[in-house]
Amino acid sequence: MNAAVMTEEKTIVIRGRKVVGGVAEGEALVTRDRISGWGGIDPRTGTVIETRHELRGQSFAGKVLVFPGAKGSSGWSAMFHMTRLMNSAPAAFLFNEMTTKMALGAVVTHSPSMTDFERDPLACIETGDWVRVDADRGVIEITRKNNDNKTGDRS
């Protein structure tokens, strides 16, 4: 019985479809809220500034951003393009809903990006997990953070 406990899944593999190729890895930043580009982020720091967003005050710079997709105007891609120019873009995008603004935003950041997953990344990935995105192969490897106390960081 102890062997079953010890073999608990530490690395999760998800397959999906490449939007922008490349390989990147980093800490996951996960939200179930869509992200607004124009007025929703500060491109200088990669910080979410939208008033009612669950990630307000948190930066996605250099992280693997896991979220449902984009919301708002076509300015979304312009704001995320600015994050690339200011070195505050996400390391990678993992998103569920493909839209033209999401696709263009992924392309202009040059960040490896994926969608159309075999398993919902919002159900498999938690903020703080280490995620390796190989968009060229269509493979995501998630290494769970070592956190036995799942209380989270929300206050």
Per-residue pLDDT in tens (0 to 9) along the chain, 155 residues = 444 444 455 899 999 999 999 999 999 999 999 999 888 999 999 999 999 999 999 999 999 999 999 998 778 899 999 999 999 999 999 999 999 999 999 999 999 999 999 999 999 999 999 999 999 999 999 999 875 444 444 33
Count of CB atoms situated within 10 Å of the CB of 15: 13
Domains located in the chain, CATH noted: 8-143 (3.50.30.10)
Catalytic residue from among 36, 59, 73, 113 = 73
Note whether 96 and 122 are within 8 A (CB). Answer: yes
Tell me the per-residue pLDDT of 37-81, one tens digit each, with 9 for 90 and over: 888 999 999 999 999 999 999 999 999 999 999 998 778 899 999
Q: Record the pTM.
A: 0.87
Burial annotation 58-97 (CB, 10 A radius, 16+ → b, else e): bbbbbbbbbbbbbbbeeebbbbbbbbbeeebbbbbbbbbe
Note whether 66 and 29 are within 8 A (CB). Answer: yes
Q: Exposed, middle or buried: residue 5 (CB in 10 Å: 0-12, 13-18, 19+)? A: exposed
73 is catalytic: yes
Rounded-to-integer distance, Cα 62 and Cα 24, Å = 9
